A = this chain, B = another copy of it.
Amino acid sequence: MKTIDFKWPLNIKSGSTHAGFKPDEQLDMCWVVSDSPASAAGVYTTNQFKAAPVQITKKTIELNHQLQAIIVNSGNANSFTGDEGIQNVYNSKQLVTNKLHLDDTLIGVASTGIIGKQLDMNTYQNGVDNLELSIDDIDAPEAIITTDTCSKKVCVELTLKDKPVTITGFSKGSGMIHPNMGTTLSFIVTDANIAGDDLQNLLSEDIVSTFNQITVDGCMSTNDMVLVMANGAAQNAKLVPDCDEYVEFAKAFKYVLETLAKKVAQDGEGANNFVEVNVNNAFDKQEANLVSKAIVGSNLVKSMIFGKEANWGRIVQAIGQTHAHVDPNHVAISLNGTEIVTNSVPISFTDDELKALFTDENIIIDVDLNVGNASGTAWGCDLTYKYVEINAAYEG
């Protein structure tokens, strides 16, 4: 498996445009379309107020795990918009059907942006009218962002029994990031040949230790969704669980999910620092994930990283707030590779030595709980003035 420049897999085309949801000619709409129906899988926000496109797309995929096109707009989330919002998703599908002559059960719809405003369907129609299909238009990652400072994308290539397979993924997300079972908006397309239910199992399993392990602000969006399409154009022998090629594909697929998840955390609203928390020797995997996410999500830990203070008591506080098994006398904590607490006792450093641990803009916190042998990792960012500024001003 190797990372390559962003491109679409075989028999996948895309288009992007400015429909008018965002100001100033910014790209705010895109679609990604397979030449033929593709195996599909999705995971969705567990927020009880699921946005209209999440509700409908979930139903579409659960029908027979197939999709041929995904259409996405940014600038309006079509969330908390009642029956009219639902109708607008069906109307969106109809517009795509009319233009591409696809069955509407093969169309996935996603939206992101402000909550509680009806989608302007004239603008939407304008977007669909403008959208073209090309293997060369790779601007879809730009078209789905909102408060993001950059697009998030990744492309890997692997060879399965002489057949080159491409996996291409892109995500948006910067605030309201605290996914649970679902995630921020992410789309992955591949030309691999794999059944829809196997793709769903793979996604549902990997999401737990990738997107569900990032947090920017503890707030779970109403629109979170990850959709995957696999159109089989690579003509590899169909991937069967546990065969060597399946394992290889699964590894590459997880790499794509993890890379996108980390890119979202890295671009957390207002963030100066990307933070990775590894919890080792936890009671079980679930607790390792729980504790690492609790630490990376703590406002006090996040402020401490912004301030470059090795205020490790706050790490302890965040661990203890969870229900995970702990041994108060045997916790060890390292900051960027330097152990600062061992057997629950702080190691003596000068203030300057501690400050020096923060010189890298990637901060890695390792915690050893010494109660078992499970490990887990979570990713996030620091809490800055800028986060407050963005969210005090943003109308979304």
Q: Which residues of A contact B (CB under 8 A)?
A: 47-50, 77, 79-80, 82, 114-117, 175-176, 217-222, 298-300, 303-304, 306-309, 311-314, 316-324, 326, 328-329, 341, 344-346, 383-385, 387-396
Contact = CB atoms under 8 A, between A and B. Distances in A.
A299 B393 contact: no
14 contacts: A48-B319, A48-B326, A49-B316, A50-B320, A82-B345, A115-B316, A116-B313, A218-B299, A219-B321, A222-B317, A299-B299, A303-B388, A307-B391, A385-B385
A304 B392 contact: yes
Given A48-B326, A396-B311, A82 B303 contact: no
A221 to B, nearest CB: 7
Instruction: Choose among A114, A222, A307, A321 the residue with the greatest number of B CB atoms under 10 Å from its CB.
Output: A321
A274 to B, nearest CB: 17
A391 B300 CA distance: 6
A123 to B, nearest CB: 19
A217 B304 CA distance: 13
Contact of A320 (B48, B77, B316): B48
Contact of A114 (B313, B319, B326, B383): B313
A383 B302 CA distance: 14
A326 B49 contact: yes
A319 to B, nearest CB: 7
Given A313-B115, A344-B82, A395-B309, A321 B220 contact: yes
B220 A317 contact: yes
A49 B328 contact: yes
Nearest to A385: B385
Nearest to A218: B299
B311 A217 contact: no
B384 A299 contact: no
Nearest to A392: B307
Contact of A329 (B48, B50, B82): B82
Counting from the closest, the 5 A-B pairs by CB-CB distance are: A307-B392, A115-B313, A303-B391, A49-B320, A48-B320
Contacts of A391: 299-300, 303-304, 307, 383
B346 A300 contact: no
A321 B178 CA distance: 10
B303 A387 contact: yes
Contact of A309 (B309, B328, B385, B392): B392
B392 A306 contact: yes
Contact of A217 (B299, B312, B346): B299
Contacts of A321: 47-48, 219-220
Contacts of A218: 218, 298-299
Contacts of A320: 47-50, 220, 222
A348 B117 CA distance: 11
Given A48-B328, A79-B316, A115-B313, 16 more contacts: A48-B320, A48-B323, A49-B316, A79-B313, A82-B329, A115-B317, A116-B312, A116-B313, A217-B300, A219-B318, A222-B313, A303-B388, A306-B388, A309-B393, A385-B388, A385-B389
Nearest to A319: B49
Contacts of A298: 218-219
Contacts of A220: 317, 320-321
Contact of A317 (B49, B304, B389): B49
A328 B52 CA distance: 11
A315 to B, nearest CB: 10
A219 B300 contact: yes
Contact of A313 (B309, B387, B396): B396
